[in-house]
Amino acid sequence: MIFVDKDTRVIVQGITGRQGRFHTKLMLEYGTEIVAGVTPGKKGEVVHGVKVFNTVEEALEEEDAEASIIFVPAPFAKDAAFEAIEHLDLVVIITEHIPVHDSMEIKEYARKHGTRVIGPNTPGIIAPEITKIGIMPEKVFKKGFVGVTSRSGTLSYEIASALSKENLGQSTLVGIGGDAVVGTSFREVLEAFEKDDETEAVVLIGEIGGNEEEVASEFIKKMKKPVVAYIAGLNAPKEKRMGHAGAIIYGKSGTAESKIEALKNAGAHIAKLPQDVPKLLKEII
C-alpha cells in the first residue's frame, strides 16, 4: 500500500458538520484510527467518541497524528489546509468548489512544507480492509495487489467493484481529485506504486481536460509494472465542462483521443469500457 497504513492516525477537520459527522462514523467503523476532530469554537464537543478541538495545533498537544481529512466548506478550506499542512504529513481535501487560486496556493504551501496533499475534490484514499481516509463506499473494495488511481470517484468505485468481483483486489486506491489543480499528480501516484512491494499492477482512470494523463504516460514508459488505463469522455463536446472542474477540452488539448494515444504509446493497455479493465488485467498478469 502507499501513503497510508494501519497505524495512520487521522484528524477530521470540520467534524461537527453534517458530512464530517457522517463520514467520521463510517471511517471509524472501517477501522480508521481517528484520534481528534477540529472545528473552531467547538472545543469540548465529542463526535462518535472523538474529542473536538478548536485547532489542529491544539489537537496535537493531546494526540499524535500524521494525517488530516478536510470537510470544511470551500470559502474556509484554504485556511484549514494551511493549518494542517504546517503540522502533518498527509492532508486529504474532500471539499469541492475551492477556487483555483486557492488550490494553487495550497499546492505551493504543501510543496514548501514537504506535505502530501490529496485533492481537492477527491473521494480520498483507501487501503482495502486496512484503513480509509475518504468518502468511498468501502463494500466495493477488496484487499489485493492492484493499485488504482483516478480523477473520478464514481468511475473508481465502478471499476474497483468490477475488479473485486473478479478477485482482483486492490493494494490502495488514490483519488487524485477532479479539479484543474490538485495536490498529488497521477505521475506521483504511479511512482509510489512502482516502488510498492504490495502492488503488482496499476489501473489509471482518467478523463478529458488537463494533461495529467499525458505527463503520467512519460513515467509509464519507464515502469516495470503493467498499467491498464481507462479514459472517460471520448464523445465529450469541446469547451463544455463535463462533471469535474478540470474536465474541459480547449482546442486539441485535453481530448480523450490525445490521452489514449499518449498512454498507448507509453505501453499502457487501454480499456474501451470500464468493465473491460478486469479482463485486460487478467491477460497481462
- CATH architecture, domain defined by 136-284: 3-Layer(aba) Sandwich (3.40)
pLDDT of residue 233: 72
> What is the per-residue pLDDT across 177-201, written as a single tens digit (0 to 9) for each?
999 999 999 999 999 999 999 999 9
Residue 243 scores a pLDDT above 90: no
Residue ranges per structural domain of the chain: 9-118, 136-284
Which class does domain 9-118 fall in?
Answer: alpha beta
Residue 232 scores a pLDDT above 70: yes
DSSP alpha helices (H): ranges in 74-152? 74-87, 100-113
Average pLDDT over residues 136-141: 97
Farthest CA pair distance, the chain: 56
> What is the per-residue pLDDT across 81-134, written as a single tens digit (0 to 9) for each?
999 999 999 999 999 999 999 999 999 999 999 999 999 999 999 999 999 999
244: annotated active-site residue: yes
Fold match between domain 9-118 and domain 136-284? yes
- Local confidence band at 210 (pLDDT 50, 70, 90 cut-offs): confident
> Rounded CA gap, 9 and 40, in Å?
20
> Rounded CA gap, 128 and 201, in Å?
16
pLDDT of residue 118: 98
> What is the per-residue pLDDT across 42-79, written as a single tens digit (0 to 9) for each?
999 999 999 999 999 999 999 999 999 999 999 999 99
Pick the catalytic residue: 48, 97, 113, 244?
244
Q: Closest Cα to residue 79, out of 52, 56, 62?
A: 56
pLDDT of residue 285: 86
pLDDT of residue 168: 98
Cβ atoms < 10 Å from Cβ of 261 = 14
pTM for this one? 0.93
pLDDT of residue 261: 96
Residue 234 scores a pLDDT above 90: no
Give the distance from CA 70 to its chain's centroid: 13
